[in-house]
Amino acid sequence: MAPSISHASVLFTTTILALLLAPTPINCWRPWPHLKPNSSDLLYDSSKKYEGSSEFVHLRYHMGPVLTGNITVHIIWYGRWEKPQKKIIREFINSISAVNARPPSISGWWRTVQLYTDQTGANISHTVRLGQEKNDRFYSHGKSLTRLSIQSVIKSAVTAKSKPLPTNPRNGLYLLLTSADVYVQDFCGQVCGFHYFTFPSIVGYTLPYAWVGNSAKLCPGVCAYPFSVPKYIPGLKALKSPNNDVGVDGMISVIAHEIAELATNPLVNAWYAGQDPSYPVEIADLCEGIYGTGGGGSYTGQMLLDLDGSTYNMNGMRRKYLVQWVWNHFKNYCSGPNALDQ
């Protein structure tokens, strides 16, 4: 009998180690910063954190173009950025099309975005690659930007005398990222990021673009939640971010949100819900604040706990990230990477 006892002990020990070392599902929820403290709406209302967020309405196709060709993301780094911060964001973008990432993966999440088509039946491209980059470290348009002056920043990047960004209206996306000491119109109070297209009268071209800000100094409890929590909710504990940068880790989900919506609604005349294209409800808006199985309302769903105590829900090529799910119009639910959304 001794061998069987020994075998049972080994099996028990192995099982315990596996449970301790494996990524563990954890549960969390999102505060709604636009609501008053101590309001029951903090638990039950919807958020307006992203551009165009609204009540649940029917998503439909409005016959406009989507990005069916290989997508190239050109980044404008506005303000002062550290090399490690840039690396986190670059590796996220490069992970969107990666085929060798461990599940649940960023590329698995992107497969839901790929389901959307244009009027010819062509799907959104599998390929998303990092394009050229432009640094604007001296704040050429100041440290307080309006929505229109954001377009002026993009104009400066695509018309620069030295190494201008290429202009590719069909498959190029322009991602303007502002550092933690830059304020943008409506930042923190209404949005953490938004997307639109440039006006030829300002930029000279119609280019799909997105802006996302680093909220580390201005409002981490709003735009970097759950890696920071708002002061008006006592007792709520912040979670550890997967790449040890609260502001940038918080940006990742917003960047994913905006890229998914740029791909499906680049000129604000393709996939969206609602009657007003000026305030569309898009595929990421419908799943705002949902990061895992069971999420909805104020509950973010199951996330994963890494060995170092950090929280994530998807794997990139070399890093882990926390990324919001997107709406699967064809199955009528929010969808994440395949390994998590069964």
Q: Give the pLDDT confidence score for residue 54 in this predicted structure.
A: 40
- DSSP letter (8 states) at residue 70: P
Q: Give the pLDDT confidence score for residue 29 in this predicted structure.
A: 37
Whether 7 shows a pLDDT value over 60: the answer reads: no
Q: How far apart are CA 71 and CA 113, in angstroms?
A: 13
Contacts of 148 (CB under 8 A, 6+ apart): 202
Query: What mean pLDDT is predicted for residues 278-298?
Result: 88
Per domain, the residue ranges of the chain are: 59-335
Of 69, 66, 129, 124, nearest in space to 96 by CA: 129
The lowest-confidence range among 19-23, 52-56, 206-210, 232-236 is: 19-23
Of 68, 133, 129, nearest in space to 95 by CA: 129
**% of the chain with per-residue pLDDT over 90:** 72
Q: Give the model confidence (pLDDT) of 106-115 as tens digits.
A: 999 999 999 9
